[in-house]
Amino acid sequence: MNKKDVLKTNNGIYRILDIKDNRILAIDCKRKNMPKYYEYEFFESAELLDETVLSSFYSGDISPKDESIAHRRFAMIADAVAVADDEKKRCEMIRKASLLFGVSKQSLRKYLCTYLAYDNILSLAPARVKSKELTSDQKNMRWALNKFYYTRNKNSLTTAYTMMLKEKYCNIDGKLLAEYPTYNQFRYFFRKTRKMETYYISRNGIKDYQRNNRPLVGDGVQEFAPCIGTAMLDSTICDIYLVDDAGRLVGRPILVAACDANTSMCLGYSLLWEGGTYSLQSLMLNILNDKVALCEKMGISITKEQWDVNRLPSVLITDGGNEYKSQQFSQITELGVSIVNLPPYRPDLKGCVEKFFDLVQNTYKDILKGKGVIMPDFRERGARDYRKDASLTISEFERIVVRCIIHYNCNRVIHNYPYSSKMLEEGVRPNANAIWNYKSRDESDCLIDVSKNELIYTLLPRTTGNFTRYGLKVNGLRYYSKDYKENFLKGGECIVAYNPDNCSFIWLKERNGKFVQFTLIESRFADMPFTSVADIKQKQKKLEDDAIKENYNAKIELISFIENVASGYTGKVDTKGIRAVRHSVARKSHKDIGGELDD
């Protein structure tokens, strides 16, 4: 008789756990009670069984998920297994595990007894529940519900029942059979098997479910953004038409904004006519700008406490648009910023910035009625053409937007913010800027100190340059720097950043992350955008190509002329008296240059 032996007696099947002082510690494998000590006489007539007798109770294909659960359950009872022979210590280990893992003591005792009985971690996997076989009528009901009810057509339950009868319970003549399930049976099966998640998703779509029906059991945005420094980015087309300085209609501007997820503070904005990566560059620069000086240029006076933002957030949450996924914008991660791209059509996941747009636009829309503001009926037939009401320029409208942002940050009351006891003691006002200023004093914020130049260098587009003895060639132009003579001689590729709007300078990116400025050699292109240089070179190439073609035509004509001239004489050449012949011919062809003078 040895440890881990499986013995069969008249009372049941037991596993030997330990042998001490002529007593045997064993566990009843069928009843799965806590192990206890038995006398030797209890197992005198016992039959030794093979281990496979018990393995049949839990054998079979176990999924990776169930196997993971089994190992997690074993981790909960590992300490109790080590002291299974000591009842007092065993109870203490179970009590501690219950507090640590949040599992009831009864469940932990069950796991412990199961493992000791089978001596296999896989025995802790969840038991498989055999589903009851459906009848033929129930199979038809399930088919009809999936075919006609759980669809985007949103058929009623009676319609789905009628369609089931037509498809499954009619003869070849289309007449209803004698026996068929009643509507009450169909409705009972539907209510018994209905899952609300399936109902909402199948009839309304996953997007509507995520937005309007999914369970809201989290702790709000503070759950994943416990401190400031997690920004939500988005853009919208403003509901207003603007004009230029001459009064000509321009259209609707684009407003790009970044809001802090924790405090809902607007960190920065960008109001312009262009979208894409350019708008994101402008937004990031606006976040770093001194807001007091920025507002002063617009004639708006604020204090630093009203908009004290001049550092980059460490996490940027976007909707996964092309501009956010672009290689150029993703370069900002070199500064320590993380970009989180959300699934498409999930505005609810960045509700902070979505609500910002609503509040800001609703603030000025009622006041600017008749000034180009678009009203809800603008798509309806016969609605007013709001373009004709446009009267504001983008600079005037920007002043309004900035003033609305200040009101949003400083005067909007934030309800249900999770105040700490310390915040209550200090009397922090329920406004975005007050909470932001309080959180900014905490060293655990997630903001990054970055200079303006570092940000610009990082967000500039990049390309590959080639060192040659003629300079650093980038986009067809040559650049130089006096400190890189060896690189010009050795050659090789490198990464450079460039300004698409001005080709006068490019910046070499060193391995240590620093940027070194190079100056344009071909000064005739100075201060031109790269697109203009490309156009000039393309026009020049076209002229050269046309000239090359004309050159070939002229060469062909020249060859033909020479061949015609040379084909006239076919006689033999007399090579005697060459010097005398040369003098004779020279005298005949000699002209009196002085005689060419005009009288």
Res 268: pLDDT: 94
Query: Which of 134-143's residues contact partners 24+ apart within 8 Å by CB, and which partners?
Result: 137/181, 137/185, 138/189, 140/164, 140/168, 140/169, 140/181, 141/181, 141/185, 141/186, 141/189, 141/190, 142/189, 142/193, 143/168
Closest by CA position to 449, among listed 311, 281, 284, 268: 311
Exposed e or buried b per residue across 562-586, where buried means at least 16 C-beta atoms within 10 angstroms of its C-beta: eeeeeeeeeeeeeeeeeeeeeeeee
Q: Max Cα separation, the chain? A: 157
Choices 3.30.70.20, 3.50.50.60, 3.30.420.10, 3.40.30.10: CATH for 226-448 = 3.30.420.10
Of 93, 132, 131, the residue nearest 112 (C-alpha): 93
**What is the DSSP-derived secondary structure letter of residue 357?**
H
The domains of the chain are located at 6-124, 136-213, 226-448, 460-533
HEC profile for 138-183? HHHHHHHHHHHHCCCCCCCHHHHHHHHHHHHCECCCCCECCCCCCH
Query: Which class for 84: exposed (0-12), middle (13-18), buried (19 or more C-beta within 10 A)?
Result: buried
Six-digit token pair at 191? 């209510």
The pLDDT tens digits along the chain (599 residues) read 788 888 888 888 888 888 887 788 888 888 888 998 888 888 888 888 877 767 665 655 678 888 889 899 999 999 999 888 888 999 999 999 999 999 999 999 999 999 898 888 888 888 776 667 889 999 999 999 999 999 999 999 999 999 999 999 999 888 999 999 999 999 999 999 999 999 999 999 887 887 778 776 655 566 667 788 889 999 999 999 999 999 999 999 999 999 998 899 999 999 999 888 899 999 999 999 999 999 999 999 999 999 999 999 999 998 878 888 888 888 999 998 999 888 766 666 778 898 999 999 999 998 998 898 988 776 666 678 888 889 999 999 999 999 999 999 999 999 888 888 898 999 999 999 999 999 888 766 688 999 999 999 999 999 999 999 999 999 999 999 998 999 999 999 999 999 999 999 999 999 888 999 999 999 899 999 999 999 999 999 999 999 999 999 999 999 999 988 888 766 777 888 888 888 988 888 888 888 778 76
Q: Are 414 and 264 in contact (CB under 8 A)?
A: yes
Q: How much is the pLDDT for 478?
A: 94
What is the model's pLDDT at position 53?
67
d(CA 519, CA 423): 54
Residue 451 half-sphere exposure toward CB, CA atoms < 13 A: 4
